[in-house]
Structure 1
Amino acid sequence: MEHRPLSELSSVADLKIPEDVKVPVLTKRERLDRWVELLEREPDRIVRTLDEIEWKPKAQRLALRADGSALTVAYSDPVLRHAGLRSDKFGDAVDFFQISEHDAHIVLCSCHGGEAMRADEAARRVRGIRSPSLWALYFGWFR
């Protein structure tokens, strides 16, 4: 029998965690770290962005999604789904990852990445919202 960490198993099997098993609640940092890890597994993968988030009415903005987006990568992970990620929609991601719409916009919007970007670029952006003091290092921006 080969032993592997749980983080590796989700890439080879759809893990179902029994309801009677208590899973530790993930902190905001752990959720974002997991998202980074998932994106970095396939750094050359092309992920789609969400189209012009900032111009949509709030209800439409919260419902935004795109097949093959960085949010799709997160939602395909059984660990994040079990932890409470409800879908790959913008609003569900903002709630689950406990990030502002502004931060989610920086990671996911087409105005920052074109129609698509590499997964490692999306991971770098998630890392930036995870550690806001690193924004200047990652983007040359000050908040």
Structure 2
Amino acid sequence: MEHKHLDQLRSVADVRPRSLTRQERVERWIELLERNPTRRLNSLGEIEYKPPAERALIREDNSPLTVAYEDPVLRADGLASDRLGDVMNYFELSDGQAHYALCSCLSGRSMDAASFAQRLRNTTGTAGWRSAAGAWALAGLAVTLPGFIYLFN
């Protein structure tokens, strides 16, 4: 088998890495935030009051958007900037999801990175099946425990 460098292959074939899925993009952003969980990040100022065109251009230094844009993997995959509109398009966030996860009216002017990660997880549904399974297990325990206590006492 002959081995060639990627640059050599590009000259004879169209070699492009697979694009990340939405879930992979969001999970990577959450992972990036959780790498430094106590880092203080700036939220975005009251984005719900801005007209859509102005809202798309919002950015804040040292924000969760900055963390995402600093990642070379996300930039190579298509994240165009750390402006709210580009971030919403790339991560496929609705206005409500962006507001809940990033706006100052819900989190104050700054918050630790772990809290932003949890907000993203909550609003995008990336908490995973483990959280849902755990919730169902606790609910089942709460319902059946009184019956077991009654039967065995």
TM-score > 0.5 by shorter chain: yes
- Structure 2: tracts of 5 or more residues without a match: 1-5, 132-153
- The answer on 1:86 being equivalent to 2:94 is no
Structure-2 separation of matches of 1:130 and 1:110: 18
**Equivalent in the alignment of 1:11:** none
Q: Could you give the per-residue CA deviations for residues 20-62 of structure 1, whole angstroms, max 9, x where no partner exists?
A: 4522111110000000000000000001001010011111111
Alignment length (residue pairs): 118
Q: TM-score, normalised by structure 1?
A: 0.77
**Equivalent in the alignment of 2:92:** 98
Q: Out of 44, 55, 58, which is 2:38 matched to?
A: 44
Q: Out of 26, 33, 37, which is 2:20 matched to?
A: 26
**Equivalent in the alignment of 1:8:** none
Runs of at least 4 residues of structure 1 off by over 3 A? none
The verdict on how the C-alpha distance between 1:120 and 1:133 changes in structure 2, with shifts beyond 3 A counting, is closer
Aligned identity (percent) is 47
Cα RMSD between the aligned structures?
Answer: 2.0
Mapping for residues 52-131 of structure 1, pairs under 5 Å: 52-131=46-125
Structure-1 separation of matches of 2:27 and 2:127: 16
- Structure 1: tracts of 5 or more residues without a match: 1-16, 138-143
What letter matches 2:73 in structure 1? V
Contact 2:57 2:84 in 1 (8 A): yes
Structure-1 separation of matches of 2:114 and 2:85: 23
Q: Could you give the per-residue CA deviations for residues 52-110 of structure 1, whole angstroms, max 9, x where no partner exists?
A: 10011111111000000000000000000011000011100110001101101111100
Structure-2 separation of matches of 1:68 and 1:106: 18
Structure-1 separation of matches of 2:127 and 2:24: 17
Q: TM-score, normalised by structure 2?
A: 0.72
Structure-2 separation of matches of 1:84 and 1:132: 21
Note the C-alpha offset of 1:130.
Answer: 2.4
Contact 2:66 2:82 in 1 (8 A): yes
